[in-house]
């Protein structure tokens, strides 16, 4: 009897000591909260106390303290690292098994969902209900963070039934989880050890996170009205300024997809008012202004974003316990809140300025972008598929186009030389391309052309497009510099490289059957022939010029620029009858709209627009008058 009393006294003393030590850990956290080292230290101390308790056989008398210490230690673990939220909460499972062990039951072979069902339905000890409910909320946070909405819905249905078996069931449907979370009664906190994060806070976080997560799912599924309602509920919930700014940004995306750009802008303004460091809001604002055609506002948003990215990144927020943002991790959110890299923003500024005709600003931003590349390609250029950047050779060519339009042809030659040198070893000597229906992207035995599978061939064709476009730009640049022979040399190099492509026709050719890269190469060939022909005219080599213009019309019959220059060459060769006939045909034919490709739905690449403009036949009233006079006299 004496030995039994001694054992009970020892157990009671240990219990009081563990409780005191756990309370000291919780109290110390409240004093020193915010430091990463402090959080890690408290986590280690909580785990140590928990290890001491679980080292003994499970007992109903010690389980309330054990489950409370487990709750606190898991709160510390989840707050210390997002990684702790991934996967199963094995510590919670072990806690449930110890509850069953103390009550004389087992559940080793059960899944976590079934284990919770067994515990909540079979364990009726009053002292264990509150700790189990708090642990259930923590399990819900774990499942919410891993997007297991079915599991958390089932768990809170069990928790609600355990509280009040006679309660009417919550409504079914998309808002069932939110209804269950709101209906859950937070257990009283009359515990011997303080909670480092209250169950009421955890409930509010779960409600906000569930609304946010389901709102994102509805947004991704295209159910915009449901997404709007859920996101608005999340915005009114328990969240930090950073998270509230993210929710407003998502609300703006929803409004934009609903065709309400002005409402989208209002949400984005709120996001920046709440958290001025919410840079994705600036990026989305630029996109909305672009949709509205407000170029000045778009460029201003991009400039502010660029300045923010050029500054040192903001200091990390103080380390804290579970927050709503810890529980919402989805690809949809990552996509909506994608942070633009400085190089992307510089490029967008340059591109938009060039499109809008702000050539001087475009040159400045393109040169800034090229300077960024000197610090290392991988560090300065995002490599993921969501980047706004085109392939780098295209950026170089756009920069060359801007430089030419800004009256800096020599710099344009230098930039294009970079493209020429970088693509020299990437193009095979011969590229055989079939004139037939366009092939699928994925290579198969039927798409094995002369140089390999189609994807490899398309890459080679792209390199050839960039290289020949660079020569084309250099030709026009040398022409502006008055170096006619050098210009002819560059145009000839362009045409020489284009001879690497060999079209062969296994069957009957269909309209629009060529690959887009091949169509683009044909346009580059036409522009290069026109450019070289113009330079031949400058040198008085009218026959050579005539041949180039004739070749150009073979490539693109009816092209107004080639036809106009052909008329001029014929007239200079004193072949006035032929020139007059061609001029009459040209006058009667509709002109091709600038900037559009025959057979293609999209515009020409931005880097070719300046070449198209330079190839345009200038107004020549004198020639037109001479031809009209000739026709009247014949």
SS3 string of 459-496? HHHHHHHHHHHHHHHHHHHHHHCCCHHHHHHHHHHHHH
Q: Please say if the pLDDT value at position 491 is more than 90.
A: yes
- The model's pLDDT over 32-85, given as tens digits with 9 standing for 90+, comes to 554 443 444 444 455 545 554 555 677 788 888 888 888 888 887 777 665 546
Q: How many CB atoms lie within 10 A of CB 150?
A: 11
Angle between helices 560-572 and 516-538 (to 10 degrees): 30
Can you give the pLDDT at residue 132? 93
Q: Is the pLDDT of residue 197 over 60?
A: yes
Residue whose pair of structure tokens reads 């774990």 in the numeric block: 142
Q: How much is the average pLDDT of 432-460?
A: 55
Q: Tell me the per-residue pLDDT of 577-611, one tens digit each, with 9 for 90 and over.
A: 998 888 988 888 765 444 344 433 447 899 999 99
What is the pLDDT confidence band of residue 10, given thresholds at 50, 70 and 90?
very low
- Residue-wise pLDDT for 157-186, tens only, equals 999 876 555 554 555 556 789 999 999 998
* 8 Å CB contact between 521 and 477: no
The domain defined by 207-336 carries CATH number 3.40.50.1820: no
Q: Is the pLDDT of residue 495 over 70?
A: yes
pTM for the structure as a whole: 0.80
Do 25 and 52 form a contact (C-beta atoms < 8 A)? Answer: no
Mean of the pLDDT values across residues 512-521? 78
DSSP β-ladder status, 431-434 and 501-504: parallel
Instruction: Between 219 and 13, name the one with better pLDDT.
Output: 219
pLDDT higher than 90, residue 95: no
Q: Which residue has the higher pLDDT, 623 or 194?
A: 623
Q: Distance between CA 284 and CA 248 in Å, rounded?
A: 11
Note whether 477 and 447 are within 8 A (CB): no
What is the crossing angle of helices 606-615 and 342-355, to 10°?
Answer: 30
Q: Is 212 exposed, middle or buried (0-12, 13-18, 19+ CB in 10 A)?
A: buried
User: How many percent of the chain have pLDDT more than 90?
Assistant: 49
CA 411 from chain centre, in angstroms, equals 33
Angstrom distance (rounded) from CA 615 to CA 621: 18
| Percent of the chain with pLDDT strictly greater than 70 | 76
Torsion of CA 227, 233, 239, 245, to 10 degrees: 50
Check: CB of residue 272 under 8 Å from CB of residue 245: yes
pLDDT at residue 456, rounded to an integer: 81
Q: Quick one: pLDDT at residue 70?
A: 83
Question: Which stretch of DSSP H or E encloses residue 457?
Answer: helix 454-480
Nearest to 494 by CA among 416, 592, 579: 416
pLDDT at 40: 47
Q: Which residues pair with 501 in a beta bridge?
A: 431
pLDDT at 262 over 70: yes
Please give the mean pLDDT across all residues of the chain. Answer: 82
**Cα–Cα distance between 591 and 601 in angstroms, integer?**
18
Does the structure show a pLDDT above 80 at 26? Answer: no
With CA atoms as reference, report the closest residue to 139 among 152, 127, 126. 152
Whether 476 has a pLDDT exceeding 60, the answer reads yes
> Is it the case that residue 21 has pLDDT exceeding 90?
no
Confidence of residue 477 (pLDDT cuts 50, 70, 90): very high
414 three-class SS: helix
Q: Which of 252, 246, 248 is nearest to 224 (CA)?
A: 252
| pLDDT at 567 exceeding the cut of 50 | yes
The per-residue pLDDT for range 287-320, each reduced to its tens digit, is 999 999 999 999 999 999 999 988 865 544 444 5
* Angle, helix 342-355 to helix 295-310, in steps of 10 degrees: 160
Asked whether 345 and 305 are in contact (CB, 8 A), the reply is yes
Is the pLDDT at 380 greater than 70? The verdict is: no
pLDDT digits (tens, 9 = 90+) for 355-372: 999 999 999 999 999 988
What residue segments make up the domains of the chain, in order of their start?
A: 2-197, 207-336
DSSP 499: T
User: What is the model's pLDDT at position 620?
Assistant: 81
Summarised one tens digit per residue, pLDDT across range 395-432 is 999 999 999 999 999 999 999 999 999 998 888 888 88
Q: Smallest Cα–Cα separation from 299: which of 249, 245, 366, 346?
A: 346
pLDDT given for residue 452 in this prediction: 47
Average pLDDT over residues 104-115: 90
């Amino acid at each position: 009897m004496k030995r039994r009393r001694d054992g009970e006294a020892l157990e009671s003393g240990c219990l009081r000591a563990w409780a005191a030590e756990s309370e000291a850990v919780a109290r110390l956290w409240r004093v020193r909260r915010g430091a990463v080292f402090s959080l890690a230290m408290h986590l280690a101390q909580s785990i140590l106390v928990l290890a001491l308790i679980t080292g003994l056989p499970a007992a109903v008398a010690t389980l309330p303290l054990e489950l409370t210490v487990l709750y606190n230690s898991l709160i510390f673990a989840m707050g210390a690292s997002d990684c702790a939220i991934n996967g199963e909460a094995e510590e919670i499972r072990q806690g449930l098994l110890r509850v069953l062990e103390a009550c004389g039951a087992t559940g080793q072979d059960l899944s976590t969902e079934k284990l919770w069902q067994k515990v909540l339905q079979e364990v009726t000890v009053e002292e264990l209900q509150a700790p189990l409910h708090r642990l259930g909320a923590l399990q819900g946070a774990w499942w919410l963070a891993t997007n297991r909405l079915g599991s958390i819905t089932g768990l809170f249905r069990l928790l609600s039934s355990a509280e009040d078996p006679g309660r009417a069931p919550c409504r079914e449907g998309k808002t069932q989880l939110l209804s269950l979370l709101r209906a859950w009664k937070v257990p009283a906190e009359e515990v011997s050890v303080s909670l480092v994060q209250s169950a009421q806070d955890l409930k509010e976080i779960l409600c906000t996170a569930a609304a946010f997560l389901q709102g994102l799912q509805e947004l991704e599924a295209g159910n915009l009205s449901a997404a709007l309602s859920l996101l608005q509920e999340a915005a009114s919930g328990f969240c930090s300024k950073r998270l509230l700014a993210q929710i407003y940004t998502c609300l703006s995306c929803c409004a934009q997809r609903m065709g309400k750009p002005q409402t989208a802008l209002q949400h984005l303004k709120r996001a920046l008012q709440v958290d001025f460091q919410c840079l994705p809001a600036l990026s989305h604002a630029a996109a909305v202004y672009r949709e509205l055609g407000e170029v000045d506002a778009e460029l201003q948003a991009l400039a502010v974003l660029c300045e923010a990215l050029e500054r040192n990144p903001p200091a990390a927020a103080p380390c804290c316990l579970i927050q709503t943002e810890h529980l919402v991790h989805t690809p949809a959110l990552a996509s909506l809140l994608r942070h633009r890299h400085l190089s992307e923003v510089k490029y967008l500024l340059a591109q938009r300025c060039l499109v809008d005709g702000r050539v001087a600003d475009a040159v400045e931003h393109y040169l800034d972008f090229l300077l960024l590349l000197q610090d290392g390609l991988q560090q300065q250029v995002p490599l993921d598929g969501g980047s706004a950047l085109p392939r780098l050779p295209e950026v170089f060519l756009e920069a060359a186009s801007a430089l030419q339009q800004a009256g800096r042809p020599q710099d344009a030659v230098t930039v294009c030389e970079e493209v020429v040198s970088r693509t020299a070893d990437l193009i095979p000597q011969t590229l055989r391309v079939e004139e037939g229906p366009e092939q699928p992207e994925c290579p198969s035995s039927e798409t094995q052309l002369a140089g390999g599978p189609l994807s490899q061939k398309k890459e080679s064709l792209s390199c050839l497009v960039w290289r020949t476009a660079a020569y084309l730009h250099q030709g026009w640049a040398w022409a502006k510099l008055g170096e006619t022979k050098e210009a002819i040399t560059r145009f000839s190099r362009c045409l020489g490289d284009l001879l690497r492509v060999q079209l062969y026709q296994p069957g009957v050719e269909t309209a629009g059957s060529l690959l887009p890269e091949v169509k683009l190469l044909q346009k580059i060939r036409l522009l290069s022939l026109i450019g070289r022909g113009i330079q031949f005219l400058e040198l008085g080599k009218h026959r050579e010029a005539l041949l180039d213009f004739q070749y150009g019309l073979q490539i693109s019959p009816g092209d107004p620029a080639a036809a106009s220059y052909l008329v001029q060459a014929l007239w200079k060769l004193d072949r006035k009858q032929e020139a007059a006939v061609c001029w009459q045909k040209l006058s009667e034919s509709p002109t091709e709209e600038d900037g559009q490709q025959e057979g293609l739905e999209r515009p020409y690449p931005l880097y070719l627009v300046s070449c198209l403009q330079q190839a345009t036949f200038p107004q020549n009233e004198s020639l037109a008058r001479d031809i009209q006079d000739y026709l009247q006299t014949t």
